[in-house]
């Protein structure tokens, strides 16, 4: 017999909530940073540098921690990746730098590169040091649409190279998914906004929030008004589940819910189901599952249609969810909503398996999972009708060349809105930076 | 940004960081890499009179802290094993290609005036900025009456230094061996002979370990071993003390010092300069980590100087040497404080 739908706020005390949403990796103190830094071999041909999408000179920044040259360490990081502070918190280092650290071979434990990167960048930001100077003014003006990681990275590099930049952002705050999309316990104490302040401190970057492309802004007008345009607009829409009419209550987009959570003044007021089912296999699915648990949900199940190896969430992320009492079920695809008295009571899944060609097929066997609340974390897609110029697309995203140039001359793009196969913060930062370098050359020709 | 340019024993250098006379400064290829990385100068690996020597192998031993991290290195490699003319041609080429860097040539020849005159003419023809007299090497050459065999006798140090100064206008740095009782005596002798500066320390006589199965000292050459020169982080305290001894000795006061001994980073270098050194030389850390460590040395020293408000090296050089005193001048505890 199923239970009454139970969605409510205040399942845990404020104190308990605060504890649950503390920093998952408390910062290293100077003693521990020194110990960890000394584990680095300072490899000559370091695999970690090749594994970093922004090519930070990792051995160099770590050695500088061990010699007490923390400013130099932070400069090594931030000159390659202006969001080195955020990336230190959110990068899945287990599949990037730390995944290839040679210490894995020797002792099964990589140098904690991410935490060391955070140590240096935190030190610098506490000092309030701008670190970079602007090149002489070029007289050129660039519009950056979207104030997320790609846009801010691009804006900072353009400002550094001497161009004036206007950043247009649809939401109230800059920083994109760093502010609205990343799990709260990964970036505590308003770090996203402190990082924005640091980035803007270089000067030459004007910001206009609350203006949206396709509404208040027209791409054709930006192209007219500015010498170049960068689109870092992300993906404004989410994929839906196609298993019949979605019940009005109890079914949420994980992206929307995380945004509410990140902006909530008081987590006690945030309603959460007693029994939660999350559908999806990526980082967002992990984030919403764990956060539901931390908000006080009793029973959280994450369901993915293929196996653990196919999830885009890494082994470490999956383990993190499991340690936080999230149950992960695989090889199950949504079949139909379960309703009781006109309200959602659960979701029925069909067991799956790959056929001989690897294509997913249903096995016509079913499993019902009770739920008060279902979160959909099925990936994002681009909003339609936002461009008033003809833009060439590739699989639903903007088509760009190696440097991020779109099919329209003078318009570049980067971050989640381009087709690159990668969608991490660190990729967005790199794409913004590379586009800025290409734009600079183009503007000076 | 602080100004790191300096003059070491009368030789101008864009920064105080030199590659010591050792394997990393043995040929054009390595010195070129060093300069590309940012080193301010090199002391070319010691030249001698042909025919070139022949080394043994293995010639390195290591002391590892808790079996993990190398803290001291020992070697019994000799001076250059390449023909004199090959080295001279490369020194000339390097100096032409890197005119702003300091190129000093280390020399070790038998104790007779003719050999010294001969090699000094050769070095002058390369355009090098100065010479360093290798009176320090504790193994192989000392048994032939060179290296430490000279450095351990102050009279010889003074005599050879005088020959060099009388036969050449090149700035002359005398490299001192630590394998003596009191470093001040050879330093005074170098000064008396007219040296433009001293560099110290050369390596310390040592045996790193014994293989308990073969009963051979290590590094083992067919079951036998010999003492080699000890260097690396472990010897820094000895070098720092000897530097301070010369810096505060009234008889050698103001004698330029190029400090050597376990210097691995900008902090070590700053410590030696605060103890009076005009510059430093590095080998072991380069062999351990690579030439690129100089980037952090330059940047780290710069940041530290900016933070402290020092605009140039002279602003802090020797400041700590003033605080090195004989033991009797230290404030002692009152008798009742012994348990504190």
Where do the structural domains in chain B lie, given as residue ranges? 6-322
The answer to whether the CB of B172 falls within 8 A of the CB of B165 is yes
Q: Which residues in B lie closer than 8 A to residue A38 (C-beta atoms)?
A: 69
Q: Which residues in B lie closer than 8 A to residue A68 (C-beta atoms)?
A: 267, 300, 304
Split at pLDDT 50, 70, 90, the class of B144 is confident
Mean pLDDT computed over B76-83: 93
The pLDDT of residue B143 is above 60: yes
**Chain A residues bordering chain B (beta-carbon distance below 8 Å):** 38, 42, 44, 60, 63-64, 66-69, 71-72, 75
Of A42, A60, A69, the CB nearest to B266: A69
Q: Which two tokens stand for residue A427?
A: 């990729």
Mean pLDDT computed over B112-129: 95
The residue assigned the tokens 């009005």 is A248
The answer to whether the CB of B194 falls within 8 A of the CB of B163 is no
The pLDDT of residue B339 is above 70: no
**Beta-carbon contacts of residue A247 (< 8 Å; ≥ 6 apart):** A337, A339, A343, A344
Q: Which two tokens stand for residue B12?
A: 């101008």
Q: Tell me: domain B6-322, CATH 3.20.20.70, correct?
A: yes
Q: Which two tokens stand for residue B199?
A: 């560099």
Q: Does B299 contact A44 at a Cβ distance shorter than 8 Å?
A: no
pLDDT score for B69: 85
Smallest CA-to-CA distance from A440 within A182, A174, A160, A238 is with A160
* Partner residues linked to A251 by β-bridges: A374
Tell me how long chain B is: 340
The answer to whether the CB of A390 falls within 8 A of the CB of A221 is no
Q: Is B213 helix (H, G, I), strand (E, B) or coil?
A: coil
Q: Which two tokens stand for residue B252?
A: 């050698």
Chain B contact probe: residue of A67, A71, A77 with most B CBs at under 10 A: A67
Query: Tens digits of per-residue pLDDT, A52-74?
Result: 999 999 999 999 999 999 999 99
The pLDDT of residue A1 is above 60: no
The answer to whether the CB of B282 falls within 8 A of the CB of B19 is yes
The answer to whether the CB of B195 falls within 8 A of the CB of B188 is no
Q: Does A44 contact B290 at a Cβ distance shorter than 8 Å?
A: yes
Closest-CA residue in chain A for B70? A41
Q: What is the dihedral of CA A334, A339, A344, A348, to 10 degrees?
A: -20
Q: Does B300 contact A38 at a Cβ distance shorter than 8 Å?
A: no
Query: Tens digits of per-residue pLDDT, B229-241?
Result: 999 999 999 999 9
Calculate how close chain B gets to A47, using CA atoms only, in Å: 16
Smallest CA-to-CA distance from A67 within A142, A121, A120 is with A120
Other beta carbons within 10 angstroms of residue B331's beta carbon come to: 5
Calculate how close chain A gets to B265, using CA atoms only, in Å: 7
pTM assigned to the model: 0.92
Smallest CA-to-CA distance from A348 within A330, A372, A366 is with A366
DSSP state of B336: G
**Chain B residues bordering chain A (beta-carbon distance below 8 Å):** 69, 265-267, 289-290, 292-293, 295-296, 299-300, 303-304
- Across all residues in chain A, what is the average pLDDT? 94
Q: Which residues in B lie closer than 8 A to residue A75 (C-beta atoms)?
A: 299
Q: Does A72 contact B300 at a Cβ distance shorter than 8 Å?
A: yes
Q: How far is CA A74 from the centre of its chain?
A: 22
Split at pLDDT 50, 70, 90, the class of A150 is very high
- Across all residues in chain B, what is the average pLDDT? 94
Query: Tens digits of per-residue pLDDT, A67-122?
Result: 999 999 999 999 999 999 999 999 999 999 999 999 999 889 999 999 999 999 99
Q: Is B127 exposed, middle or buried (0-12, 13-18, 19+ CB in 10 A)?
A: middle
**Beta-carbon contacts of residue A95 (< 8 Å; ≥ 6 apart):** A314
Q: Is B267 helix (H, G, I), strand (E, B) or coil?
A: helix
| Gap between the Cα atoms of B260 and B255, Å rounded | 15
pLDDT score for B336: 61
Q: Does A63 contact B289 at a Cβ distance shorter than 8 Å?
A: yes
When comparing pLDDT for A322 and B112, which is higher? A322
End-to-end CA distance of chain A: 72
Strand intervals (E) in A91-173:
141-145, 164-169
Cα–Cα separations (whole angstroms), residue A299 to A185, A278, A295: 20, 11, 11
Mean pLDDT computed over A153-164: 98
Closest-CA residue in chain A for B290? A44
Q: Which residues in B lie closer than 8 A to residue A120 (C-beta atoms)?
A: none
Q: What is the largest CA-CA distance in chain B?
A: 69
Query: Tens digits of per-residue pLDDT, B196-240?
Result: 999 999 999 999 999 999 999 999 999 999 999 999 999 999 999
Calculate how close chain B gets to A123, using CA atoms only, in Å: 14
Judge whether B137 counts as a catalytic residue.
yes
pLDDT score for B8: 97
ipTM associated with this complex: 0.89
When comparing pLDDT for A130 and A432, which is higher? A432
| Gap between the Cα atoms of A223 and A208, Å rounded | 17
Query: Tens digits of per-residue pLDDT, A253-286?
Result: 999 999 999 999 888 889 999 999 999 999 999 9
Calculate how close chain B gets to A42, using CA atoms only, in Å: 7
Q: Does A63 contact B300 at a Cβ distance shorter than 8 Å?
A: no
| Gap between the Cα atoms of B168 and B255, Å rounded | 19
Q: Which residues in A lie closer than 8 A to residue B300 (C-beta atoms)?
A: 64, 67-69, 72
Chain A contact probe: residue of B33, B292, B296, B307 with most A CBs at under 10 A: B296
| Gap between the Cα atoms of A272 and A257, Å rounded | 10
Mean pLDDT computed over A28-36: 96
Helix or strand holding residue A411 (H, E)? strand A411-413
Calculate how close chain A gets to B286, using CA atoms only, in Å: 12
Closest-CA residue in chain B for A67? B265
User: A–B: how many Cβ contacts below 8 A?
Assistant: 34
Helix or strand holding residue B306 (H, E)? helix B293-308
As a whole-number percent, the residues of chain B with pLDDT over 90 amount to: 88
pLDDT score for B335: 66
Measured at the alpha carbon of residue A72, what is the angle toward residues A67 and A77, in degrees to the nearest 5?
A: 115
As a whole-number percent, the residues of chain A with pLDDT over 90 amount to: 83
The pLDDT of residue B275 is above 50: yes
The pLDDT of residue B138 is above 90: no
Q: Does A69 contact B303 at a Cβ distance shorter than 8 Å?
A: yes
The answer to whether the CB of B192 falls within 8 A of the CB of B168 is no
Q: Count Cβ neighbours within 10 Å for each residue of A96-134 and write b for 16 or more, e otherwise.
A: bbbbbbeeeeeeeebbbbbbbbbbbbbbbbeeeeebbeb
| Gap between the Cα atoms of A418 and A234, Å rounded | 8
Calculate how close chain A gets to B287, using CA atoms only, in Å: 12
Q: Which residues in B lie closer than 8 A to residue A74 (C-beta atoms)?
A: none
Q: How far is CA B327 from the centre of its chain?
A: 28
Split at pLDDT 50, 70, 90, the class of B30 is very high
Q: Is B23 helix (H, G, I), strand (E, B) or coil?
A: helix
Q: How far is CA A52 from the centre of its chain?
A: 16
Determine which one of B137, B172, B231, B283 is catalytic: B137
The residue assigned the tokens 């071993």 is B225
Q: Does A72 contact B303 at a Cβ distance shorter than 8 Å?
A: yes
Query: Tens digits of per-residue pLDDT, A369-426?
Result: 999 999 999 999 998 789 999 999 998 999 999 999 999 999 999 999 998 777 899 9
Q: Does B299 contact A68 at a Cβ distance shorter than 8 Å?
A: no
Q: Count Cβ neighbours within 10 Å for each residue of A220-253 and write b for 16 or more, e otherwise.
A: eebbeebbbbbbbbbbbebeebeeeeebeebbbb
pLDDT score for B338: 62
Q: Is A137 helix (H, G, I), strand (E, B) or coil?
A: coil
| Gap between the Cα atoms of A197 and A194, Å rounded | 5
Q: Does A71 contact B290 at a Cβ distance shorter than 8 Å?
A: no
Q: Is B285 exposed, middle or buried (0-12, 13-18, 19+ CB in 10 A)?
A: buried
Q: Which residues in A lie closer than 8 A to residue B304 (C-beta atoms)?
A: 68-69
Closest-CA residue in chain A for B305? A69
């Amino acid at each position: 017999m199923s239970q009454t739908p139970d969605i409510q706020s205040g399942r845990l005390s404020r104190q308990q909530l605060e504890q649950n949403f503390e920093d998952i990796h408390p910062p290293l103190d100077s003693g521990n940073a020194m110990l960890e830094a000394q584990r680095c071999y300072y490899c000559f041909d370091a695999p970690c540098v090749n594994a970093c999408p922004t090519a930070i000179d990792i051995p160099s920044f770590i050695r500088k921690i061990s010699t007490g040259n923390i400013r130099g360490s932070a400069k090594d990081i931030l000159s390659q990746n202006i969001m080195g502070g955020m990336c230190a918190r959110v990068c899945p280092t287990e599949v990037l730098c730390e995944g290839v650290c040679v210490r894995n071979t020797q002792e099964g434990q990589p140098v904690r590169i991410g935490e060391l990167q955070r140590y240096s960048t935190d030190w610098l930001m506490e000092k309030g040091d701008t670190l970079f100077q602007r090149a002489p003014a070029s007289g050129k003006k660039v519009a950056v649409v979207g104030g997320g990681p790609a846009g801010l990275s691009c804006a900072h590099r353009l400002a550094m190279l001497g161009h004036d930049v206007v950043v247009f952002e649809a939401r109230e705050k800059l920083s994109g998914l760093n502010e609205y999309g990343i799990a709260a316990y990964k970036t505590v104490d308003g770090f996203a906004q402190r990082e924005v302040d640091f980035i803007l401190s270089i000067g030459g970057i004007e910001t206009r929030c609350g203006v949206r492309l396709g509404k208040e802004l027209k791409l054709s007008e930006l192209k007219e008004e500015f010498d170049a345009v960068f689109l870092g607009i992300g993906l404004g829409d989410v994929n839906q589940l196609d298993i019949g009419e979605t019940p009005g209550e109890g079914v949420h987009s994980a992206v929307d819910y995380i945004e509410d959570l990140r902006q909530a003044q008081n987590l006690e007021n945030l309603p959460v189901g007693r029994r939660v089912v999350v559908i999806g296999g990526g980082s967002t699915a992990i984030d919403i599952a764990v956060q539901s648990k931390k908000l006080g949900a009793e029973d959280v199940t994450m369901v993915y249609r293929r196996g653990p190896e196919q999830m885009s969430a890494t082994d470490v992320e999956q383990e993190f969810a499991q340690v936080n009492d999230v149950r992960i079920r695989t090889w199950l695809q949504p079949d139909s909503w379960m309703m009781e008295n006109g309200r959602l009571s659960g979701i029925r899944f069909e067991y799956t398996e790959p056929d001989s060609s690897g294509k997913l097929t249903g096995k016509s066997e079913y499993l019902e999972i009770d739920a008060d609340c279902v979160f959909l974390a099925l990936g994002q897609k681009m909003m339609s009708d936002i461009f008033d110029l003809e833009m060439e697309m590739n699989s639903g995203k903007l088509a760009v060349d190696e440097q991020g140039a779109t099919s329209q001359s003078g318009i570049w793009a980067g971050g989640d809105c381009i087709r690159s196969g990668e969608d991490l913060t660190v990729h967005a930062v790199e794409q913004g930076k590379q586009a800025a370098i290409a734009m600079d050359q183009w503007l000076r020709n | 940004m602080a100004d790191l340019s300096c003059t070491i024993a009368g030789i101008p250098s864009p920064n105080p960081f030199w590659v010591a006379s050792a394997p990393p400064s043995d040929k054009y290829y390595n010195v070129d890499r060093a300069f590309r990385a940012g080193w301010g100068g090199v002391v070319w690996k010691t030249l001698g009179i042909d025919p070139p020597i022949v080394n043994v192998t293995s010639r390195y031993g290591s002391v590892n802290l808790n079996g993990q991290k190398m803290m001291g290195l020992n070697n019994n490699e000799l001076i250059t094993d390449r023909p004199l003319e090959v080295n001279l041609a490369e020194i000339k080429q390097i100096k032409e290609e890197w005119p702003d860097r300091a190129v000093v040539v280390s020399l070790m020849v038998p104790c007779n005036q003719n050999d010294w005159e001969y090699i000094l003419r050769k070095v002058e023809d390369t355009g090098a900025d100065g010479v360093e007299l290798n009176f320090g090497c504790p193994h192989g050459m000392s048994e032939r009456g060179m290296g430490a065999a000279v450095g351990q006798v102050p009279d010889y140090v003074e005599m050879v230094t005088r020959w060099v100064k009388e036969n050449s206008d090149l700035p002359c740095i005398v490299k001192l061996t630590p394998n003596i009782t009191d470093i001040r005596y050879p330093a005074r002798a170098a000064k008396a002979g007219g040296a433009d500066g001293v560099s110290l320390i050369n390596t310390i006589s040592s045996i790193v370990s014994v293989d308990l199965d073969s009963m051979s000292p290590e590094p083992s050459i067919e079951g036998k071993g010999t003492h080699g020169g000890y260097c690396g982080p472990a010897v820094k305290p000895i070098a720092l003390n000897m530097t301070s001894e010369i810096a505060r000795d009234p008889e050698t006061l103001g004698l330029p010092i190029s400090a050597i001994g376990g210097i691995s980073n900008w902090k070590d270098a700053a410590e030696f300069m605060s103890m009076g050194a005009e510059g430093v030389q590095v080998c072991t850390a380069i062999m351990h980590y690579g030439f690129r460590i100089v980037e952090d040395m330059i940047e780290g020293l710069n940041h530290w100087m900016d933070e402290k408000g020092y605009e140039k090296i002279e602003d802090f050089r020797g400041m700590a040497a003033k605080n090195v005193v004989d033991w009797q001048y230290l404030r002692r505890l009152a008798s009742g404080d012994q348990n504190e």
